[in-house]
Structure 1
């Protein structure tokens, strides 16, 4: 599978939290290369199932993205916007965006220039109240095409290739991890499985994990592995908070079943894949947190892809590490069989 092509297709499809239908359509298209057993549930989660017998492993990565929403149309046609699920207004001035009205409209985010600010304001960070979304259209044109409640995303354009298999772009959180699932399916297509694997592109993770809650009830898995992004080192970050770009992050902590952690660790070590333990004292803030308490308790694991500049238009990842995450997931699935209950047993 061409990972970069898949990543480009998914990141150029809009899917702000609560409005994931278009990216779901793209994901379903890629799922069809590996199975005909594809479905979408009532909240928008998108499933692909492989394997016929044995325990059920749920693998989940979220399709939704952070974005913005139009909250007001000024008399001159300028748009006021607010964050949906996590866009920091400090990164927005000068950004190119797409307004998803009756048609897609290219626009920019602007603010009062320093030359015109009041004394002392130049030392303050911009807030959402300082920003406007400028389409270049007249007020009449804007009112005909755009309404309050319409979504705004970072500009829909493919990722940029940097050096050393590093790429930069929008919405790698978490479309890059959906690409991990696709790559894992590509690896598993030639293997005989002793388990059922349900791959799920979940919705609304950025707004609290509502899709994961529905997905857990729908699938009723014996165990689950969530895939998300984590923070890679940048100047000024603390080592405890980051994982190196070339390593697969494997989380341990209260949200993680110890035996699922062992399964993931074993898969990485069997394949000589560089990995690092990421410690989460409490909530991981991922779909794993929403899945864990369902149905009397679902044994959960979490694999993360290190990423720089989270929730911006220039998120940065390593395609090599993305592929390694897929190999680890595929290894976990390939190693599941009749002894799965014994492997999960905590009485040892």
Structure 2
């Protein structure tokens, strides 16, 4: 999965997805008939067909950081882009690209602990800062200003015997981007009119998904994303690594379309693909905005379970990714017509 490694290690926080978009464009070019970037930054690729029009969507952006302010000592305080737990950021190596184009290396740290009672308190985002080893004057000269992106640097790893597990940053949702690229290769001869949509700014409000539907007008959509694994949680895991893709029935914000879910369930059972139905009271995906754009759109969600979501140490199982690709491929070789 060299492509997944490349996607995971690429920098693409919300609002700054251009590097990821360039990788995807290069990989997709041989397999699609047309491709363009819309006004909002979504990448849309099409394989022309005479059948049903289907939208497959995955988001390019990742949670991230940017400069909030710089204090008198040159400490660069940071602001979160999307949902990040401050405790998971301590000690991370980062790169900061300044407004003058200068690259600074640094690490995320917090104020010194003064007594044992402070050890019991988890640091908030406001207590974290980037140390680049510079004075305030040197930081100013380098061109550091509020709004500069701070990029977390993390290598992609393969874990376990046989490398069956993968770990890295931004698996949410570079796993989905990887899956869409692989599906474009496999569905080139599909009878459907296939759209592959790589959205922006999912992590801060699902914004790209909402605008992307307007230019393509599909018959229905399937959103591909990752979902928090329940491995190791008290009460038993609901979604486990290695037990197949997740088919979302309900999340914290929406219900997916029943007939799409039935298609997926039936295909999985018929082809002995393990799967995990998901009913959750928390979280959501791009499907929320896709489903209510224009006049409304039937929508399904296929997910891959991931441990430690929204951290740089996310973990996924290769077989879950492969099974999710196979499930969607079998459905869309000859896409069925929607029946509500």
Q: Distance in 2 between matches of 1:236 and 1:9?
A: 31
Choose which of 4, 19, 34 in structure 2 pairs with 1:37.
34
3-state DSSP class of the match of 1:30? Answer: helix
Partner of residue 80, structure 1:
77
Q: 1:241: Cα distance to partner?
A: 5.2
* Alignment check: 8 A CA contact 1:255 1:280 kept: no
Q: Distance in 2 between matches of 1:275 and 1:242?
A: 10
Q: Aligned pair in 2 of structure 1 residues 290, 240: CA closer, same or farther (>3 Å)? A: farther
Q: Distance in 1 between matches of 2:139 and 2:183?
A: 44
* Alignment check: 8 A CA contact 2:231 2:240 kept: no
Partner of residue 26, structure 1:
23
Q: 1:88: Cα distance to partner?
A: 1.1
Q: Distance in 2 between matches of 1:215 and 1:17?
A: 16
Q: 1:326: Cα distance to partner?
A: 1.1
Q: Distance in 1 between matches of 2:103 and 2:235?
A: 40
Q: 1:118: Cα distance to partner?
A: 4.2
* Alignment check: 8 A CA contact 2:242 2:319 kept: no
Q: Distance in 2 between matches of 1:85 and 1:149?
A: 14
Matched, 1:345 2:333: no
3-state DSSP class of the match of 1:120? Answer: helix
Matched, 1:231 2:225: no
Q: 1:302: Cα distance to partner?
A: 0.3
Partner of residue 13, structure 2:
16
Q: Aligned pair in 2 of structure 1 residues 301, 284: CA closer, same or farther (>3 Å)? A: farther
* Alignment check: 8 A CA contact 2:44 2:196 kept: yes
Q: Distance in 1 between matches of 2:323 and 2:155?
A: 22
Deviations 1:252-306 (A, max 9, x none): 135201011112223323332110100145x751011111112222000000000
- TM-score, length basis structure 1: 0.90
* Alignment check: 8 A CA contact 2:192 2:335 kept: yes
Choose which of 140, 148, 151 in structure 2 pairs with 1:150.
148
Matched, 1:292 2:286: no
* Alignment check: 8 A CA contact 2:241 2:317 kept: no
Q: Aligned pair in 2 of structure 1 residues 50, 158: CA closer, same or farther (>3 Å)? A: farther
Deviations 1:81-125 (A, max 9, x none): 0111111111111111222322333210112343xx245222111
* Alignment check: 8 A CA contact 1:255 1:292 kept: no
Q: Aligned pair in 2 of structure 1 residues 230, 41: CA closer, same or farther (>3 Å)? A: same
What are structure 1's unaligned runs of at least 5 residues?
Answer: none
What are structure 2's unaligned runs of at least 5 residues?
Answer: none
Partner of residue 302, structure 2:
303
3-state DSSP class of the match of 1:19? Answer: coil
Q: Distance in 2 between matches of 1:57 and 1:160?
A: 33
Partner of residue 314, structure 2:
315
Say how many residue pairs are matched: 332
Choose which of 125, 132, 140 in structure 1 pairs with 2:122.
125
Partner of residue 333, structure 1:
332
Partner of residue 169, structure 2:
170
Partner of residue 265, structure 1:
265
3-state DSSP class of the match of 2:31? Answer: coil
Partner of residue 255, structure 2:
255
Q: Aligned pair in 2 of structure 1 residues 136, 245: CA closer, same or farther (>3 Å)? A: farther
Q: Distance in 2 between matches of 1:11 and 1:106?
A: 20
Q: Distance in 1 between matches of 2:183 and 2:303?
A: 14
Q: Distance in 2 between matches of 1:31 and 1:170?
A: 22
3-state DSSP class of the match of 2:178? Answer: helix
Q: 1:129: Cα distance to partner?
A: 2.3
Q: Aligned pair in 2 of structure 1 residues 246, 34: CA closer, same or farther (>3 Å)? A: same
- TM-score, length basis structure 2: 0.92
The answer to which of 307-316 and 105-114 deviates more is 105-114
